[in-house]
Every structure is written in structure tokens, then in C-alpha cells.
Structure 1
Amino acid sequence: MKSRPFLPLIVAVMACLLCAAETFAQDSVAIGPATALQDASPAWPVLKHYDQQHLARIALPLGGIGTGTVSLGGRGDLRDWEIMNRPAKGFVPMRGSLGPFFAVLAKTPDGKTLAKAAEGPIDVSAYENSHGSTAPNHGLPRFRNCSFATAYPLGQVMLSDRDMPMDLRLEAFNPLVPADPEASGIPVAVLRYVLRNKTDQPLVASVCGSMPNFVGIDGSGHTRDWKGDLVATGGRANRNHYRQTDGLRGIFMDSEGVAERAEQWGSIALVTTASTGVTHRVSWIASGWGRSPLDFWDDFSTDGKLDKRAPTGEDTPMASLAVQVEIPARQEKTITFLIAWHFPNRMTWTPKGNDEDRIGNYYTTRYADAWDVAEKVAGRLSRLEADTVRFVKAFCDSDLPEVAKEAALFNLSSLRSQTCFRTPDGRFYGFEGSSNRRGCCHGSCTHVWNYEHATAFLFGSLARSMREVEFAHATDETGLMSFRVNLPLDRAREYGKAAADGQMGCIMKLYRDWQLSGDDRLLESLWPHAKRALEFCWIEGGWDADKDGVMDGCQHNTMDVEYYGPNPQMGLWYLGALRAAEEMARHQGDTAFATTCRRLFENGSRWIDENLFNGEYYEHHIRPPKDRSAIAPALLVGMGAADPTKPDYQLGSGCLVDQLVGQYTAHVCGLGYLVQPDHVRKTLASIMKYNYRDGMHDHFNCMRSFAMGDESALLMASYPKDRPENPFPYFSEVMTGFEYTAAIGMLQEGLIDEGLTCIANIRDRYDGRRRSPFDEAECGHHYARAMASWAAVPALTGFLYSGVDRTITFANTEGNHFWSNGDAWGTCAIERTSDSAKITMAVLAGRLDLAEFRLTGFGNRAFGDGLQIEAGRQAQFQVSGSASTY
């Protein structure tokens, strides 16, 4: 046998490794898998886990539809305080080095105490600054170990530390219940701290929330109202009040110094549902060289209780609220806090400097102030949580691919961001997205909002309010729909410009919303406006002035330029609008108009296939006008070519990522194919072939970067042939809403692997380390177009519902499906045999009326007298190709 001189060294190294592993295991007793709090709550579904290396960018918005939000950071901090009628990315209200924070204390039987912020480690990117770290609350001791688990809107932060005798889990959410915008529109953040005693002895533990009263400070730096007057003079005179009512104790924050007409005027409440062990401060001592936070920490860290301090008259007085409990050995206790707000003075996005600029908020008509919010939420918190969890669990338990569920669910956060709001009459509006300090691109921009289907499928009443605004208010007597609606509504048509894709898409969405709801009154009231909106295509100098079913005029569109000549993007939107209008006209008894729409559709579809399809994808044929006078004035927005007779900023022969957006929407609406099916499938394969980039290291981008380095993505456009010298401005970019459109188009055509790959690439980019999983940006944070991701749900399940015909359709695949039509939602379980299928339809909210159930390519089940399934009930029946029983 040969000698092995290195064997002793190897043995020694292995011994060291084993020793290190043993030491790590011993240190990990309190933080490893055996410790219950290292797992998320079993009562809440979890779709995604993030380890400590992927927490820095996480910001989960906590707030309702149209209320503003505060975001839960990945380490358990509260950031992005966007509660005063405007975006405020990065804004944390500060008093010295401290912003809002929660702290915990544990006291052992021998009297030892240890206090920490209820947060994980600060990311290293915040370490360096000229005067040390500027991260909020950087000086507080904190937990060593942190992870994050979520299924939006449920966020959980798991904290542990080898020196702490207890683990901590923060469970945070805001109610989100499909078909219930009231429950989903509450201005509150619910924070539940779950404390687990890791020891064999009882512990005394405290949780304390501290917050400055920042009423009047919205993060924008604006100090004047819309009249030009100071928001506050001589100090804001902010006041903190301790209040106690049945089941609620806490601090109410308001101000005597903020002008009552200002956007920043309102109230905040920090409360707990605990009934015992509550102590508080309405003020800290005066600031000065660290003495104020030192006084607080010395007080709280001694025994977990708070001694009162006299008000100092400072502009942003700090308040604290603590709750103390006893935790038996190896047991856990929970302490719940609510942060509520109430800021009624939302201003229009198109101000004129008068009192009409105040358009208000719907949510503030439902509550008197922030304390009223807290009281009403506390009284029904269990129900709100149960309804939210029921929805999220039903969705997460479905058999959709995980990445499709993540993309669809997490992007619902945009509905709750400052991108969206509701006016006191209940109508729903949205910016395109949110800049750091203001809404980005006003007016519920039709060509952007066309892409998303989440609102219609989850909150049908809100979607229908958008259709009512678009057609009854923003469309004039000629059929011109202002693609940006000004507010208040008597200014709705002031923008006075029409977008080809925006106007056509709204016609398709009216058909979609009518079908989903079965609301004939909606169609009856809006059809005359919709008919004029389609006829507007045929005006002199218009999009289809020769009325041949092909758009070739000046077409302003979502690329923020005008296209000249026929192209697939506008062409298919137009075909989809013709098909939708045909169906709606026929239902209204307008046979002549339905016949016209059909003729134009068939001619346009044939022409586009014969002339724009190049064998791989559809191209744009550039056809400039003879002169500017040939263009109807309302069609020129002025953002594109300076000289329309020699236009730049065109697509040309490029392979456009969303060239089939009209077809994508037609499938969502159940309108069938707009062009030849084999051309659709070939085009999507070509988009994958030419636009896909497996890493961006070699890609030149002349505009904004939303994908970099080793990240994979679909480019906005590629040029396998020749490229215009100066194509449309965004051609070299990557934007998620457009990627979703192509990816879901692939899913619709059976290109499942390709579509899921594209969706996975998007979600990999929003991984918590590089970007927030709850903020897919484009022209602004929380961009509305990203909610196109919801369309993956009907694409993969085959779900289609018509409230008009009372039919529901699913794909012929086994599994457990989630469904929603905007007014009801539930699950559908399909069990297949060779010749029959057992169907279990469950309605979890709303009511479902059915005349027929359809399983694509397999069979139908008609219900002679109709089938009504109420909330909380289910129905089982058989479907076969020949006969069915119920």
C-alpha cells in the first residue's frame, strides 16, 4: 500500500470542519428549522420565500385601493410612507436619526433584559456616507437573522438572534378581497408581532411602536397648497393624543397648524388591540445631541414599559405605544398594532389653481378620521383577515405554475399604490405609474391601461367605472376619446387628443366588461358612445379614412409617437374593436352596423395577413402623408416626428414584442382569432427567436435600462432585417408589461415553456436583492401595464365567462383552477376519465349563474332551469361528450 503523507492533514481539516459544523449547529438551535418561528405562519399561505441576501429592495405596500400605502421592508422596517395623496418613494418621516420603528424586549426570570429593534440587519449598501450610515434607525440594536415570506398581500418577517431568548415573526397585511372594493380599500396597515419563547422558563416580553407625528409632511418637500399659501405657518402645531375605547388603545395624531384644504392635512393613528399591559408616551423629551432617543431607550430597555414625558411643542412630536405580555415556556403570544390614516384632500392631476382642483378621496367619505378607521377595522379584523386568506389560499392552491401565480398576484400591489385612486363618487382612476414624488403620466391613459386585465377580473365594478368615464365623459360628439381624462369630470375632454390603440382597446374592454358582468344596462347606456368612437376611425384624415378595415393614417400610440401606415400593433387593435363592436351592435339590434363591422373586419384581417406578414412576423409599412393638412388635428399629439412627411420614430420592419397585443386581448375577451392562427403562432415564435436575450452584456440600449448584466428579457423590438436610422424611442428597452403580453400570447397558443420562461425571467429580475418584487416599473413605479400578468390565469386555465349567455368555460385539463369574473370568484376542480369529467364548482364569494358549463374540446353540460351557486356553496356534476348528469 502506498503511503499517504497528507492523510493526517486531511483528518485534521475534517475534524475542524466537523467542529465548526457542530458549533454552527449549536448556535443554530435558536434559529434553525426546528425553531417554529423560523417558518412562516401555517395559517397564511406562502408563495415565495426570500433569504437574508434578498431582502434589501423588498417593499410590500400595505394599504387599500385608492388610499395610499406604507411599505413593509424585507427586514421588517416600514418605508415609503405614501399616505398623503402622492407618491413618496424612499420617504421615511424622521425625527433626528429615527423614523417609525418597533422594538421588542425580553425579560428573563432572573431579571436580565435584552431589547432590540424588531428588524433584521441593515443592508451593506447603506453603510457608507460622509457622516456614517443614514439608514433610518441605524443606531438601534437589531436581530442577526432575518427572512421574508409572502403571498401578496400577506407579508411575514421572521427574526431570530442567538442572544435573544425569543424569536419574532411579524405578520403584516391589508385586506384584499376580490369583488369587494370596500374591504379592499381600507387605509390601514395591520402589524401582528408573534413572540415565541425559546426557553424552558417563562418570559416577560414587550413590543413598542414609535412614530413621529408627521402630519403636514408628505415627503415631496412641498410646503404650499394649490393656492400658493403656506401649508403651515409658525410651526405645524402637531398634536399627539392618547385615546382608549372598547378594544382599542393608542395614539391619535393630528395638527392645528396644517391648512385644512392642504393635501397634507389629515390624521394618523397608532393603536393596539391589546386590552392590558399597555403603556404610552405622547411625547419624547426635546431633541439635542442624541439625548431624546437615549432617554427613550433607557426607559424602554429597562423593563419594557414606558414612562410619560411632557409635550415639548416640537413640530414632529414622537409618540410611543408599548404592550407587555407574559409568555410561558416554549409558548408564543401575539400583539397586534394598527397604523391607520385619513387624508381627504386629493388634488386633480390637471390643476387650474381654483377650488375645483380638490377632487377628494372615496375612502375618506367612509371614515371620519384615522381613529374611526382603526375602530372599524378592529371590530371586524378577524373577518377581513379570514376573507383575505381565503382568497390568497384559493389562488395559491390552484395548479397554475408557481411563477405565473407570483407574477399575477404580486402585481396586484399596483392597485393599492399611489398609481391608483378613487374620487368621492366611487369612480376609479389611475396614473400610468408613480414617480418618486408625483403621479407619472396622468389621465387613466387608455393605451397603457388597455394591457391590464386584473381590475376587470377581480374588481369588476371598478373596471366598469373606468368604461363609464371613457365613453360617457371623455368621448365627444364626434367620437374622439381623449386618451387622458382630465379631472374633475367637467374637464374630462380637455386633453382633446385621440390614441389609436387606446380608443380601440377601450371598445374591446367594454365588450369584455359587459360579458363578464352580464350587465345589459351598462351596454345600453354606453353603446351610443362606443359606436361613435369606432366611427371616428372613418373621419376625413382619420385612422381608416377610406374605410377598408386597415388603419393607415396618423396613429398616436403607446410608444408615445405617431405611426404612419399600416402596422400590426394598431391593425389588430382595430380588428379586435371591429369584432367587439359587431357583437355589441348585434345584441343591441343594430344589424346594419354589425354587418359593416363584419365586412371591415374580414377585409382588414385578410389584408394584414396578405401584406404585413413577412413569413415570420408582421411588419410596419411606413406611409407618410402628403402634408400635415391630410391629418385630422386631434390625431397629432406632437411627441413623434417633427415632419410627418418624413417621419422618424417608426417601427418599420422591426419585430415588435407586442405586435399581437390586439390578439392577446381578443383571446381574453373570447373574440377568437383576428388573423390566421398559424401566423399568430409563427409570430410569437419569431419574437422568442429575435427579441429574446439570454443576458444583456452585449446589448446596446440608448434609453432606460430595466434589465442589465446577466438578466434575461424580451427586447421591445429587434431588427433581423434593416433598421430605420431612428426607430421609435423605446425599441432597445425592456419593459415587463410588454413582455407579459408576448409571454401570455405564447401561453394562449400552447407555447407553454416559452411563455413561462419569459415570465420567470421577469420575476427573477424582481428578486428582492436588485428590485422589489412588488414594484415592476416602466414610466414610474407600480406601472399599470404590468398587471397584464393576471391574463396568464385565464390563458392557462382556459377560463372564459359570459354573464350575458351565463356560460363558463375551462380548458380540457385536469386540476384545481382558480376563477374570478369581477363580481364572484371561487375554484373549479376537474377530474378526468377517458369519457367523462367530474366537475366541482365552488363559489367562495358572490353568486354564479350558469346556463351551461363548457369543457373545451370535450363536452358541454347544459342546465335546463339554470344553476345558481351562492357564496360558500358548491355544485358537482358530470360532463361527457354525449350525456351529463347533475
Structure 2
Amino acid sequence: MALGGIGAGYFEIRKDGRFYAWNIANNFPKETGPKFLLPDDEREDRMEANLFFEVRYQVQGESPRIKLLQLSYGLYEGAEMGIAYSLPWMKAIREIEYSARFPLATLVFRDPEMPFSLKLEAWSSFIPHDVKNSALPLIFFDFEAESTCAKPVNVTLLMTARNFTGYADEERFYTTVIDRDSKGLTISMSSGGMDRKASSWGEIALGVSSPNSSFYAGWGHRHPYYEQVLRRSTLPNLDDTNGRESIGNFVPDWLPDTTGRNRVDPQTGVRKMHDDDLFSTIACTFKLQASGENAKSAFQYAWNFPNLYNEVIDGVGGDRIEGHFYSNFFSSAAAVIAYGSKYHRSLKQSTMEFLNNFFASDGEVALLEQANSQLNTFFTSGRLTRDGSFGVLEGLSKSYSWGPIATIDVMLYGTAPIIALFPELQKATMRCHALVQLPSGEIEHGLRKDFLRGEDSTTGVSHRIDLPGQFAIMVMRDFFWTNDMSYLRELFPAAQRAVEYVLRDRSAGNGAMPVTQGIETSYDNFSMTGFASYLLSQWICALESVAAGAAALDDTPTSARYLALAGKTRETMETKLWNGSYYKLYAADQKEPATSNGDGCLTDQLVGQWAARCSGLSPILQEERIGLALKSILTRSYHAGFGLQNCSFRTGEQLSDVDRDIWNDQANTCWSGVELAFASLLMFEGLYEEGVMVARTVDTRYRENGLYWNHQEYGGHYFRPMSAWSLVNAMLGFSINCDRMTFDPKVPQLDLQLFFATPTGTAFYRRSGKTVQLRCLTGQLAFREVWLGGVGPKIATIEGRQIETNTSRQGGLQSFSFATQQKISSGQTVTFS
């Protein structure tokens, strides 16, 4: 699981208690700086020692021992080679019980030799609708120890971190600053002797909130560091970064004569790092007097790498610092530690409140966990710059950045949680896309790691015909969800230009709908020719969405024109693509060969209907046919224990033929982002159990492959599976369309509680018998209409006060219309009875 902040950088904590995938220093692959590598020498796997924890303990009357709080895998552990030989009194912990729900990982350390239990809660602040506190370059490590020994035990928890600031500059020297007061201790590590505008320049800080703290900064070798850890319950409070210069006048007799980790050249007087490694350790010491007694310790790890540059593309770029959003609030890593220490309790309370509320639901746990696991991608792949520009990387792996940022075809699926939890970030991305829109109205596939530049010339993705409609759908969905008229006035012209570009240049003369000439969509490895269901279903949704936008802007003629074009597109899809069971892959002209794959059954043939459901729009096609098509897709393409493949071409056969000239089989494979969106569509359309079945299959497949936090498509940490948030909405039958909220629960039980989020708050939907309550948990809920399914209440009250409404039935839903917009805040309830 990732620890970090949105756009701030991250690293991962895994089941072995170790830390991986370091991406905090503007380094490639996540960002634009050099790769962060520590080359091995006689020491193996040096990256393993970037951060680690240990516990020293001593039972009264016995010798001290040290446990490394990670599992033993190799020779290099605890910044030391071969501890079984060199440090026999230090061992790796025997067992770790690991559990995680983003953004909290809980590790319980067990060892029969250890006279106490020890639990770690590693977490980062993630608070919906609070971008600042969800984008902190800060990680908390909260420990709790409980004695299992009748005798008193002295316990010292130790946190050690490497100074890798300036990792790309071999001429640098290390710097260390100690800040200590009655409440705790902070060590800040940085680099001097280098360009302070370099992307790798920055600071790392360690903090511990305890008056019983101690430190040993600037050490680089087991001698004398580990000898002192073993022999004393507290660290010696010295800084060996520059040897005696940094230690001061009181030099302990056990300390060797040292120049520290830096050395000054006697000829030039220039200071330069002397050792490849510099570590600093902070500690918290306490005594457990008897069995059952417990103690808590809170550590923090923070960073500040302010020089995030734009991307170099074709020799252009790399010259502008875009910076991080956190730089608006913090000028040093020490300031981040101070903030985290001051607000530790409130940040944890708000973070855990969201997490606990999210899972306090009668929805399927596996589906909730899928949605929760995809929030991890906010940390791994979100790019949030100082000016508030935002986007999510398409894919990311250990050594490569896959695709650009905010690819429109993937955004259509993956932005479901962004508009609900951080609407300003979603709107920022759309503004960036509007900025780079071509004069013709064409939409760029993605954004570079430079929010002023689009991806305009990449083979196989430029000039895709699905992008304009997807852009228009998202502009309007964002308006429907936020009811932000200023945003609509700002972005509607760009959405309209995108639509008009298709009508003018990509409709093959029909003037109403897109016509594809081959490989021109997100499915970039098998051809669709002519009228394609994937395109037309989206196009209907796009046209009906922009028609609604035009109406909101009082442009009745434009609205009517787009509705008429949507009708023509619908007629084409119903007459040319419906084959009695599903909407086939495509229908070309009469010259199409008899061996055509046009009859293929694409899982995504109704993605436009899914988008319409997400925007609170009416069905885009005949509802009976929608149901038949969904069932046909399941019959032909779902395989238990495998998944839901993208497309099937022959009934009764799981595998379709693969053309010899393609670079990747996209028909037979499963894209989890599509599967999860499709599962939510099944539920929206009343096929609840089938939707649960598909989503559970995805969850199981990724768990069994050890990739629960890291879904794959074009690279890892793929953006599209963030569509999992749609499962949360679909279980509740929840959508927002301006001032109207709709609730039509699909979970098959009468009395239930389900969590939901709007762009302004989080809440519970509660149903008991024929009474429905909406209880605001955080922020506020704003509405003028509420549509309810499954019950028949007549009266609306807010905090016990009856509110006059007009009620009616709307397509099987009970409609409540209020005279004015209503708002309820945290702790308040609106009741329908």
C-alpha cells in the first residue's frame, strides 16, 4: 500500500515490513527527475535501508536484545551486511500480521522471544474535500506496545532513515539540523554544495512526539552506532555528520576519531561527502512495569523536494519548475513535521472517520474493498502542482512511466472518485485539457508532465475519435455533480467545439455521429469500421449531456439541435447494430467482407449507458434491449474464475482468434477498469447479483496474483480501475444531476445503511421500513430535489421540521421537490416518511 500524499510523492509499505517504490524526490518514473538508484557495492540491496524501524528491549535482570521490525530476506538488513554474523544480538522479527485499508496499514509484530506485543499503524492523511491535508508530504507511524511479561521491561523504539537528498549530485555534502524541545525531536537532513534548484535537492525530516526522545545523527557504520544502541537504552544525542565539528566540545570517549560523513579537501577547502551512506536515528524510550501495561509512540517521516520540473519532450521543456501543491504551505520538511505533530490527532480522526464510515455499510465488503484499494492510485499516480493543476498518470511501474497524464479515454472511467471526493482536482484537469484543445476542436489524448502541453503526436493515440465525446461527457458530468454554473460557462464552449469537430470532420458526411475508419479508440489494437457500438453509445450520452448544458445556459435552439442529433444516433444504433441479442461491435458498409469481426460482442458496447447513469440521465437506448445486451455479454464473455473478457466473437468459445499482426491481444483479455464499470452498470440496471459476481471475480484475481494495490493494463497502478468507485454509487442507485439526488438502492434488503459521497460532503443513506434518512457525516449536502426508489414516503422533515414539498412519481421513483435549495451539515438529517 502507498503512503504519501496526492501529488506529494509516495513509497510503499508491504507485508514484510519493508518500504519499496521510492518516489518522493521528483524522481523518475513518477516524475521528471533522474532515476533514484543506490548502486550496490559490497553491500547488497542498499535501497532496503532508506527507512527502517527497530526495537531494543531489556527485561530486568537480563541482557538487552534488538529486533529489526521487518522479515529477514537477504544479507543487507538494518543498514548492515550479515547481521547473523556481525550483530548476533539483533534479529529480524519472526512474524508480521499485516492488514491494510487505504490509507492505513496495520502491522502486528510477533516473536516468541519478545516480552511484549507491538503494533504499528502506518498511515497518511486522506480526507475527502480537503486537498491540502490529503496532499501532505508526510507519513505517520504510530506504535503501541503492551507487556506480556511479569518483570519490568525497558523498551526503545528506533526509526532510522537515510539522507538521499541530492542523490543525483556526487559533489554534494550532507547537512543535518537538530531541533528539540520539550514535546519531541526533529532531525532534518539535506545537501549542500549543489544547485538548490536541482530536482533532487530537498530535505528529509524525522520526528518523534515524546519528551523521552533521543538521537544519533550522521552515522554511517555499525561501529560505534550499534554498540551504543545495544549498551544504552537511550541514544547519545550526537551528530556525526561532520565529525567533531558537528559533535561539539563534549566528545564521548567511545567515539573513534572521525571526520564524519563529509570531508574537507585540505587543498581546496571544499567540503564533499566522504561516505556513501549517512543515516540518522531517532528513538523513544519507555518502561513497561508489568504484564498488560501499554505505551504509545508517534513517529513521523516528512520530505520537501520543491523543484518539480516540467517534462523534456523532443528537446523542449525541463526549464520550468511546476512545484508541488504542498509548497504553498511548507518551505521545509521540518515545518511539515511540526504541522503533523500539532495536528496529528485531528488528521487521524478525520482520516479514520472517512475510512470507518466508508466500511460501515451494508454493501458487499469485496466491492467496498475494491473501491477502497483503487484510492491508492491517488498517491501513486496523482500529479498535483503548486498552481493546483492536477492529473493522474495513465500507468506506472517500478522502472517506467506508462503513458501521459489524464488520458481522456481512461479518465472517462477513472475519475468517478475524483469528482466525488476532490471535485476541484477533477475540474482542474478538465481546464488543462481545454487549454491544450486544438483549434479544430479536437481533444488531445493526454497531458504531458507539463500541464501546458498535450500529447499531440504519439503514434496510435493521436486523432482518436472517441476522445471528443468523452471530453464532452466529463465536462457535463462534472457540472451535473457540482451544479457549478461558472464552471459550465467556462468549459461548455470547449465541449461544444469538441462535438462540432466530430460532426464536421469525423462523421463521414452524415453530419450526426462519428464514423470510425479502423483502430481509432481506447481499444487500440483491434479494428472497428463504420458505426461502432462503443462510439455511438458514448455519442448519444455526449449529445444529450451537452443538450442539457445548452438548456442550462438558456440556449434552447442549440439544445434542441443536439437532442435531435442524439435521436438520429440512437436510431442508427438500434437499426444497424442491434442483432436481437446485443449491440454488435460495428456495422460497416456493404463492402465489408463476410469474414468481418463486426458481429463481435464488446463488453463496453453500453459504456454510454453507464456514463448516463453516472450523470443521472435517462436511459439512452431501449431499456428492454439494454437488459438483453447485458445478459448476452455475461453469457458470452464472463468466465468464472477468470473474468470478463473485453470482446467475444463466437458463442460458446472462450478464446477468440488473435490476428498475427497485432501487438497485444485485447479481445480475450480482461481490463479490470472496464469490468468494474460494467459490474456497476449491471447493478444500476437491476442485475445486482450479477454485478457482485463480476466485481468479486476481479477482486479475487488480483488478490491471487499479489496485485491487490496495483491493477495492470498499460503498466501498473493503472488509472482506469478507479472506476471501482462506481460500485459504491451503483449499490445505492445513486446519482446527482445538478440539484437533484437520486437514490434507488440495489442491495436486496429492506433495512440498510449505505455510504455515499457528493462533491461537498459524505453521508449515510439509511432505510428502515418505509422511512428513509440521509444523514450528513462531513461537509454538507445540498439539494432541491430528491428521488427515492423502493419506498413510498410522503413527508420530508429536516431535523424534525417538516418541509413543504411537491411529490410525484417519476419512472418508478418517488420525487420530492423543494421550493428552494436545502442544505444539511455534518450531524444533520433529512427524513422522508
| Superposition TM-score tier, normalisation by shorter sequence | 0.7 to 0.9
Among 50, 57, 60, the alignment partner of 1:109 is 60
Stretch of structure 1 that moved more, 428-437 or 329-338: 428-437
Aligned position for 2:693: 757
> Aligned to 1:616, what secondary structure does the other structure show?
coil
CA drift of 1:809 comes to 3.2
> Aligned to 1:566, what secondary structure does the other structure show?
strand
CA distance in 2, matches of 1:400, 1:117: 39
Stretch of structure 1 that moved more, 615-624 or 265-274: 615-624
Distance 1:866-1:585 versus aligned 2 partners, 3 A rule: closer
CA distance in 1, matches of 2:583, 2:166: 53
Distance 1:258-1:761 versus aligned 2 partners, 3 A rule: farther
CA drift of 1:571 comes to 1.3
Aligned position for 1:818: 755
Q: Note if 1:157 corresponds to 2:107.
A: yes
Among 482, 488, 500, the alignment partner of 1:517 is 482
Distance 1:261-1:651 versus aligned 2 partners, 3 A rule: farther
Q: Which amino acid aligns with 2:782?
A: D
Larger RCO of the pair (alpha carbons < 8 Å, separation 6+): 1
CA drift of 1:647 comes to 15
Q: Superposed, which structure 2 residues align to 1:496-515 within 5 Å?
A: 497-515=462-480
CA distance in 1, matches of 2:373, 2:465: 30
CA drift of 1:256 comes to 1.1
Q: Contact between 2:537 and 2:609, CA under 8 Å: does it hold in 1?
A: yes
Aligned position for 2:289: 328
Aligned position for 1:31: none
CA drift of 1:717 comes to 2.0
Q: Superposed, which structure 2 residues align to 1:761-780 within 5 Å?
A: 761-767=697-703, 770-780=705-715
Aligned position for 1:845: 778
CA distance in 2, matches of 1:673, 1:749: 10
Stretch of structure 1 that moved more, 572-581 or 732-741: 732-741
> Aligned to 1:660, what secondary structure does the other structure show?
helix
Q: Superposed, which structure 2 residues align to 1:260-659 within 5 Å?
A: 260-276=196-212, 278-285=213-220, 292-293=221-222, 295-307=224-236, 308=238, 309=240, 310=243, 311-313=260-262, 314-329=275-290, 330-351=292-313, 352-354=315-317, 356-417=319-380, 419-452=381-414, 453-471=416-434, 473-486=435-448, 488-492=450-454, 494-495=456-457, 497-540=462-505, 542-543=506-507, 545-549=509-513, 551-553=515-517, 556-560=520-524, 563-621=528-586, 623=588, 652-659=598-605
Aligned position for 2:610: 664
CA distance in 1, matches of 2:593, 2:387: 47
Q: Contact between 1:552 and 1:623, CA under 8 Å: does it hold in 2?
A: no
Over residues 618-641 of structure 1, what are the superposed CA-to-partner deviations in whole Å (9 max), with x where a residue is unaligned? 223364899xxxxxxxxxxxxxxx
CA drift of 1:877 comes to 2.2
Stretch of structure 1 that moved more, 260-269 or 177-186: 260-269
CA distance in 1, matches of 2:122, 2:559: 52
Q: Which amino acid aligns with 1:846?
A: G
What runs of 5+ residues in structure 2 fail to find an aligned partner?
244-259, 263-274, 792-813
Q: Contact between 1:427 and 1:465, CA under 8 Å: does it hold in 2?
A: yes
Aligned position for 1:255: 191
Q: Superposed, which structure 2 residues align to 1:67-216 within 5 Å?
A: 67-86=8-27, 96-97=43-44, 99=49, 100-120=51-71, 122=73, 141-216=91-166
Q: Which amino acid aligns with 2:353?
A: R
CA distance in 1, matches of 2:731, 2:304: 40
Over residues 92-129 of structure 1, what are the superposed CA-to-partner deviations in whole Å (9 max), with x where a residue is unaligned? 868945602100022112143221011245499x99xx
CA distance in 2, matches of 1:139, 1:565: 72
> Aligned to 2:308, what secondary structure does the other structure show?
coil
Would you tell me which structure has more strand in proportion to its own residues?
2
What runs of 5+ residues in structure 1 fail to find an aligned partner?
1-59, 218-230, 286-291, 627-644, 696-711, 880-886
RMSD over aligned CA atoms reads 3.1
CA distance in 1, matches of 2:143, 2:790: 51
Q: Note if 1:715 corresponds to 2:645.
A: yes
Aligned position for 2:674: 738
Q: Contact between 1:268 and 1:340, CA under 8 Å: does it hold in 2?
A: yes
Distance 1:475-1:779 versus aligned 2 partners, 3 A rule: same
Q: Contact between 2:186 and 2:337, CA under 8 Å: does it hold in 1?
A: no
Over residues 391-417 of structure 1, what are the superposed CA-to-partner deviations in whole Å (9 max), with x where a residue is unaligned? 111110011110110011111010111
Aligned position for 2:822: 867
CA distance in 1, matches of 2:466, 2:627: 22
Q: Contact between 1:543 and 1:553, CA under 8 Å: does it hold in 2?
A: no
Q: Contact between 2:311 and 2:450, CA under 8 Å: does it hold in 1?
A: no
Q: Contact between 1:612 and 1:619, CA under 8 Å: does it hold in 2?
A: yes
CA drift of 1:814 comes to 3.3
> Aligned to 1:441, what secondary structure does the other structure show?
strand
> Aligned to 1:442, what secondary structure does the other structure show?
strand
Q: Which amino acid aligns with 1:160?
A: R
Q: Which amino acid aligns with 1:840?
A: Q
Aligned position for 1:679: 625
Q: Which amino acid aligns with 1:66?
A: G
Aligned position for 1:805: 739
> Aligned to 2:165, what secondary structure does the other structure show?
coil
Aligned position for 1:14: none
Q: Which amino acid aligns with 2:342?
A: G
CA distance in 2, matches of 1:793, 1:544: 40
CA distance in 2, matches of 1:398, 1:551: 44
Distance 1:138-1:300 versus aligned 2 partners, 3 A rule: closer
Q: Contact between 1:658 and 1:741, CA under 8 Å: does it hold in 2?
A: no
Q: Contact between 1:852 and 1:863, CA under 8 Å: does it hold in 2?
A: yes
Aligned position for 1:855: 788
CA distance in 2, matches of 1:123, 1:694: 39
Distance 1:414-1:143 versus aligned 2 partners, 3 A rule: same
CA drift of 1:374 comes to 0.9
CA distance in 2, matches of 1:868, 1:409: 28
CA drift of 1:744 comes to 1.7
Q: Which amino acid aligns with 2:831?
A: F
Distance 1:806-1:748 versus aligned 2 partners, 3 A rule: closer
CA drift of 1:181 comes to 1.1
Distance 1:86-1:566 versus aligned 2 partners, 3 A rule: farther
CA drift of 1:327 comes to 1.8
Distance 1:853-1:412 versus aligned 2 partners, 3 A rule: same
> Aligned to 2:711, what secondary structure does the other structure show?
coil
Stretch of structure 1 that moved more, 343-352 or 205-214: 343-352
CA drift of 1:564 comes to 2.6
- Give the share of equivalent positions with the same residue, in percent: 22
Q: Which amino acid aligns with 1:301?
A: L
CA distance in 2, matches of 1:423, 1:604: 40
Q: Contact between 2:28 and 2:36, CA under 8 Å: does it hold in 1?
A: no
Among 767, 778, 782, the alignment partner of 1:830 is 767
CA distance in 1, matches of 2:774, 2:98: 34
> Aligned to 1:70, what secondary structure does the other structure show?
strand
Q: Which amino acid aligns with 1:312?
A: R
CA distance in 2, matches of 1:348, 1:500: 28
Over residues 526-578 of structure 1, what are the superposed CA-to-partner deviations in whole Å (9 max), with x where a residue is unaligned? 111211111111124x1453123453456621123564311111111111101
Distance 1:81-1:823 versus aligned 2 partners, 3 A rule: same
Aligned position for 1:793: 728
